[in-house]
Amino acid sequence: MADLDVLTLTATEAQQLLRNQKLTSVALVEAYLTQIGKHNHNGFRLNALISVAPREDLLKTASRLDEERAAGHARGPLHGIPFIIKDVFVTLPSLGMPTTCGTPCFAKATTKRTAPLIQYLLDQGMILLGKANLTEFCGLKFKGLTPGYSSFGGQTQNPYIFGGLEKDEKLIGHSSPGGSSAGSAAGVAAGFAPLSIGTECCGSIITPANRAGLYALKCGLHTVDDEGCFKYNDCIDCIGGLAKSAQDLASFIAALQQRKEPYDLNRGLAGLRVGFTDVNVWRLPETMVSWPGDTRQQMEDGYSAAIATLKANGVDVETDIDLPRAEEYMKRPDGKSHFWEIAMHQLKQTHMQAFFDEFSESEVHSLEEMIEWNKKHADTCLPQDELEGLLASNREPAEMEAMIIELRDKSKSALDRHFEAGMDIVVALADSSLVRYSSGAGKPVFFLIRTA
């Protein structure tokens, strides 16, 4: 049997070992469960996973999948590979994990179904190990909520930061795990699973992936089934994947999008046109992020090296492209945020109640009941200024529709003039506001780490 290092093992490598009969899914699951036991709530106390499926159930599933493989049947390209999901997807009680969004009021609730996307992956032979911690309710509690913290799951820690989140850290400073898909990133980086699912409105996959040194892709709008998933709205929220290699990510995204054919990674780079933004302009303000020591210089050196590598491989590269900073270009005269206003409007109108309706049994059945439950359990719940504000809000539908159109038009106009001129990819540092444009335009965005 293969000697496994779950910190470095990729899903592609694991699948090759499984095919060559040098590894079993049972052994693979046991290795990940051992790592979870060491460092999720013990050891480094990463709090990456909010719940883990029962060991006995996992091993039974893995054994059954091993038997199927031995009989010559693989359900899909990722047959026998474990994964974790952000705790925003509903799952049946039979899977042994609650659906909480990180909030205690759902701790005892039971759902009516498993989200279709998750059920599809299970039917394809993947193994759901656990649910990842997150910024509680995807950040909808109170202004200034620390990324990666939930009342039910605690503070997710960045596996690369010894000692954890530093005192008085900036919103997404170097010791922060990022959010809201913090556990999805930390779990893969810590060797709890090779693949994970996150969700993003504006940076909620890309920022944690950046902090955890992973490959990640927020898929384009409506390219992945989001039924049974807590979301703010239909025009911004997207699902994506996180992994340890480009090959892993391509395979996982193909599965998430239920593609019949895998993505072709052998096409080469020649002929691509890639535009790089100016790193001195396209970066988040120091009030939000921190770069200790020579971190900033290393980032800029890596950025320059990526440009050189692409040029050496036949890519047509344009540097310092003319792209207005999203913070300024997207600013409204009334000071309102497109993303926040649109998200809160659709959430109150449809998606909040739709999520409550996913439960067959629950202590709360509406936003009003949730707020009251939190008040009665204030000793274990976070402040809920934003939930109360959502309940009291009364946004005009016509105003919101106009804002959606404005958001989409501004985002597309900023990007499309480059794409329509033949550019294939626009690049910026992960610590920048490019995610605003991608979210507003409904376009995919990815984060890749540079390797020598």
Task: Work out the angle between the directed axes of helices 11-19 and 246-256 (0-180°, nearest 10).
Answer: 80
| Main-chain phi, psi angles of 130, to 5 degrees | -170, 180
Q: Give dist(CA 113, CA 241) in Å, integer.
A: 22
Distance of CA 226 to the CA centre of its chain: 13
Q: Give dist(CA 176, CA 154) in Å, integer.
A: 14
Residues in CB range of 419: below 8 A, 6 or more apart: none
Distance of CA 251 to the CA centre of its chain: 16
Query: DSSP assignment of 101-116, as one string?
Result: TT-GGGTT-EESS--H
Q: Give dist(CA 371, CA 172) in Å, integer.
A: 28
Burial class, 51, CB count within 10 angstroms (exposed 0-12 / middle 13-18 / buried 19+): buried
Q: Give dist(CA 154, CA 46) in Å, integer.
A: 9
Say if residues 70 and 179 touch (Cβ distance below 8 Å).
no
User: What number of residues does the chain have?
Assistant: 452
Say if residues 258 and 401 touch (Cβ distance below 8 Å).
no
Say if residues 32 and 193 touch (Cβ distance below 8 Å).
yes
For 386, the enclosing helix (H) or strand (E) is helix 385-392
Residue with tokens 């997807």: 89
* First-last CA distance in the chain: 30
Say if residues 46 and 184 touch (Cβ distance below 8 Å).
no
| Residue 117: closest CA among 226, 213, 239 | 226
Say if residues 178 and 139 touch (Cβ distance below 8 Å).
no
How far apart, in Å, are the Cα atoms of 70 and each of 66, 79, 263, 264? 6, 12, 27, 28
Say if residues 2 and 22 touch (Cβ distance below 8 Å).
yes
Residues acting as catalytic residues: 86, 180, 204
Say if residues 236 and 387 touch (Cβ distance below 8 Å).
no
Tokens describing residue 1: 């049997």
Residues in CB range of 70: below 8 A, 6 or more apart: none
